[in-house]
Amino acid sequence: MICSLFARCSLAGTALLLWAGTLPGDHGPTAIRPDASHDRPRARDVGVAPGILPTGPLNAITDVPGVRVGHHTLKTGDNVRTGVTAILPHGGNILQDKVPGAVVIGNGSGKLAGCTQVQELGEIETPIILTNTLSVPAAMEGTIRWTLAQPGNQDVRSINALVGETNDGRLSDIQALAVTPDMVIQAIRDATDGPVAEGSVGAGHGTTCFGWKGGIGTSSRRSGDFTVGVLVQTNYDGYLEILGAPVGHELQRAGIETDDANQGGSVMIVVATNAPLNPRTLERLALRAILALGRTGSVMSNGSGDYVLAFSTAESVRRTADRRSTIGQVLDLPNAGMTGLFRATVEATEEAIYNSLFKATTVTGHHTRRELPIQPTLDILRRYNRLTQ
């Protein structure tokens, strides 16, 4: 068996990513490497580039102006492997300067606290928090406490905290209720508009995807004057497909087995754009993310909670106090301008899911979930002529 090794080298000014790993036909166990997601490539780095649209500079949800992301990763003792991820639509007082939002549910076996008010009013008024299933109440408390502490919110009596989850109980002692409100507040405070950490971090620390280690992934696309950015928390099942190639099946044929590839699970997808969209057009946008989920091999199984949240950061459609209390004019994008954004959403969601797998590292808690083996995966994709390099 060839031991896992990642090296970077340069040839004629072009960075090359070289990964030596378990080869197809080598039926030995995959080595467990140290937790170092920075050593693993993003999907695009090794030629896995869905679609035709250009990415933003960071190829992340933070390419959408104003959007910020923060993580709190919790690793305690032998069994707690969980965390929090916070997505802020902008850096101001979100409660007073709400953004239009929408929710789409693929399969509803999950928890998305606050979703009914978003569906009813079409507004998002807090950071979006992702965590594990049993930590939703703690995440709500942390979000509410942070929001109450913002200047101008002294007289507030109602806050619609928006918290999504996936169940990381395969790896983490979920009954420990280890996530605290203070951890949520810290994740919000740590949020930045720069590069986004991916893989086994934040709310993705204990997740599983297609039987391999899942996690946080992100990507973005440009369509005309607008940007669409996506962040995912992957914890779902099925047989992995990448760019249409049956990677999960081919890995199995090569003797590279994983565990529990079809044990149910969930995914949270957050879609952000600076296109001036209203709640109805945002719902249409969110629906397209489900198309990308299917492209990766998900069938949204019976026990899966598959949720998409979409919001617009455009100033012209913000739900300011004045706009919430008086009749006014809102400038938003017509239906005829949506198709490019639909494509951007599908492409960015698909790549974000791949990034969650490519960047995730092996994690051991209750059980061990191994990282997706890079080189065998690339060998399969090359055989199917799917790589761009």
Architecture of domain 5-383: 4-Layer Sandwich (3.60)
Query: Tell me, what's the pLDDT at 32?
Result: 33
Q: Is 266 marked active-site?
A: yes
For 52, residues 6+ apart whose C-beta sits below 8 A from its C-beta are 343, 347
Judged against a pLDDT cut of 70, whether residue 2 lies above it is answered with: no
Residue 218: pLDDT over 50: yes
Identify the pLDDT of residue 26: 34
| Range from 10-24, 45-59, 213-227, 351-365 carrying the lowest mean pLDDT | 10-24
Q: Pick the closest to residue 250 from 44, 24, 46 (CA basis).
A: 24
> Is the model's pLDDT at 364 over the cut of 60?
yes
CA distance 283 to 100: 10
Percent of the chain residues past pLDDT 70, beyond the cut: 88
DSSP H helices, the chain, are 115-121, 136-148, 181-189, 247-253, 279-295, 321-325, 339-358, 374-383
Rounded percentage of the chain residues whose pLDDT exceeds 90: 83
* DSSP state for residue 227 in the 8-state scheme: E
- Region 249-267 average pLDDT: 85
All structural domains of the chain with their residue ranges = 5-383
- Please determine, for residue 25, whether its predicted confidence score (pLDDT) is greater than 70: no
Q: Over the stretch 316-354, which tens digit does the pLDDT of each residue have?
A: 999 877 777 777 777 889 999 999 999 999 999 999 999
pLDDT at residue 17 in the model: 34
Confidence of residue 257 (pLDDT cuts 50, 70, 90): confident
Q: What is the dihedral of CA 264, 83, 292, 87, to 10 degrees?
A: 150
The number of C-alpha atoms within 13 Å of 112 and in the hemisphere containing its C-beta is 25
What is the Cα 238 distance to its own chain's centre? 18
> What pLDDT was estimated at residue 273?
99
Tokens 């995440």 — which residue? 139
Q: Is the pLDDT of residue 359 over 70?
A: yes
Supply the pLDDT for residue 7: 34
Q: Is the pLDDT of residue 294 over 60?
A: yes
- How far is 274 from 32, CA to CA, in rounded Å? 41
Place of tokens 């026990």: 303
Q: Which of 4, 37, 220, 266 is catalytic?
A: 266
Q: Which of 35, 173, 193, 306 is catalytic?
A: 306
Tell me the average pLDDT across 259-272: 84
- Please report which confidence band the pLDDT of residue 238 belongs to, taking 50, 70 and 90 as the band edges: very high
Residue 153 carries which DSSP code? -
Which residue among 304, 312, 332, 356 is the active-site one?
304
Contacts of 277 (CB under 8 A, 6+ apart): 100, 285, 310, 312, 314, 317, 332, 333, 341
